[in-house]
Amino acid sequence: MAEPVVNGREEYGPHFVQSVARVLAVIRTFDAERPVQTLGEVSRETGLDRATARRLLLTLADLGYVSSDGRTFELTPRVLDLGYSYLSSLALPELAQPHLRWLARELNETAALAVLEGNEIVYVALVPSTRLAAVKIDVGTRFDAYATSMGRVLLAGLPEAELEERLAYLHLERKTSRTVGDVDTLRAEIEKARAQGWALVDSEIEEGLRGAAAPVRDRAGRVVAAANVSVHAGRTTPELVERDYVPMILRTVRLIEADLVSSAAG
């Protein structure tokens, strides 16, 4: 359920515009599991009364972000403009793309770049491979960070106090039989990723999907993104991924970081 926005001014201060927060809350109720919703469902998920939810949905429809058949509502492709404005303002995906293309070509696998947003990773650059066609991943795709290789290295890059705060409130959901099941195990995996400088996750986000990732750091040494390669588990083993894939991912990360530093200096 989306977090109700009822006391924004008290929580955030006199600058807070509650109507903006409510519109965003309405948009965020739509996802892969609920692409089409009724007014009642949106009202329930946001905690807004039906009249308010209806006005917001109709306003979004007037602006072209929502469509309706009179009973149900769904987002339109125009919503992608909101995310594109953010992605197009980032230098990092553009800088990373040629290096990801090289990595994908050399390994004949899918290569990607993601950033951490809340407790999720968000794909911001991607070079897909037809060998991973069964898995639907696009720029803008989100996954729970705890169950992915990119998420592990991004979490490992957080200050210790922030990491512990996130872990204290994290809800772990088993997505496969191999998904990490408790916070202590997850913490150990994050510490391992931090110590070795990369992470390998095997069939935790989806059965048969294996991924390896390394962090991308800015000129100040802060982890700002993660690069990874995803492969079907049937084509390799964790040992081969570590031996053959991880060194190439680390090389790719170093090249991205070099371009990032040069871009900032320029």
Q: What is the CATH number of the domain that holds 159?
A: 3.30.450.40
Q: How far apart are CA 109 and CA 130, in angstroms?
A: 8
Domain boundary among 47, 78, 109: 78
In Å, the largest CA–CA distance within the chain is: 59
* Average pLDDT over every residue of 190-217: 92
pLDDT for 177: 84
Q: Does 119 share its domain with 164?
A: yes
Model confidence band, residue 207 (pLDDT cutoffs 50, 70, 90): confident
Model confidence band, residue 264 (pLDDT cutoffs 50, 70, 90): low
Structural contact between residues 116 and 156, judged by C-beta atoms closer than 8 angstroms = no
> Which position has the higher pLDDT, 50 or 86?
50
Q: Where is average pLDDT lowest: 45-49, 89-93, 137-141, 204-208?
A: 89-93
Residue 1 lies in a domain: no
pLDDT for 213: 97
Q: Does 130 share its domain with 220?
A: yes
Q: Does 198 share its domain with 94?
A: yes
> Which position has the higher pLDDT, 245 or 87?
245
Nearest-5° Cα angle at 136, 131 to 140: 125
- Domain enclosing residue 45, as ranges: 8-78
Residue 72 lies in a domain: yes
- Which residue is listed with tokens 């009724």? 38
| pTM exceeds 0.75, yes or no | no
Model confidence band, residue 9 (pLDDT cutoffs 50, 70, 90): low
Stated as kind and residue range, the H or E segment containing 116 is strand 110-117
pLDDT at 64 over 70: yes
User: Where are the strands (E) in 176-222, listed by range?
Assistant: 199-202, 209-217
Q: Does 146 share its domain with 243?
A: yes
Domain tally, the chain: 2
Q: Where is average pLDDT lowest: 80-84, 141-145, 208-212?
A: 80-84
Residue 84 lies in a domain: no
Q: Does 211 share its domain with 129?
A: yes
- Average pLDDT value over all residues in the chain: 87
CATH of the domain at 34: 1.10.10.10
The DSSP secondary structure of 43-112, one letter per residue, reads HHHHT--HHHHHHHHHHHHHTTSEEE-SSEEEE-GGGHHHHHHHHHT-HHHHHHHHHHHHHHHHHTSEEE
Paired strand residues for 235 = none
What percent of the chain is predicted at pLDDT more than 70? Answer: 88
Q: Does 239 share its domain with 141?
A: yes
Residue 253 lies in a domain: yes
Q: Does 132 share its domain with 200?
A: yes
Q: Does 202 share its domain with 236?
A: yes
Q: Does 58 share its domain with 168?
A: no
Q: Does 62 share its domain with 95?
A: no
* pLDDT tens track for 132-159: 655 677 888 889 999 999 999 999 999 9
* pLDDT tens track for 86-113: 554 467 888 899 999 999 999 999 999 9
pLDDT for 90: 61
Domain boundary among 78, 106, 138: 78
Q: How far apart are CA 1 and CA 190, in angstroms?
A: 28
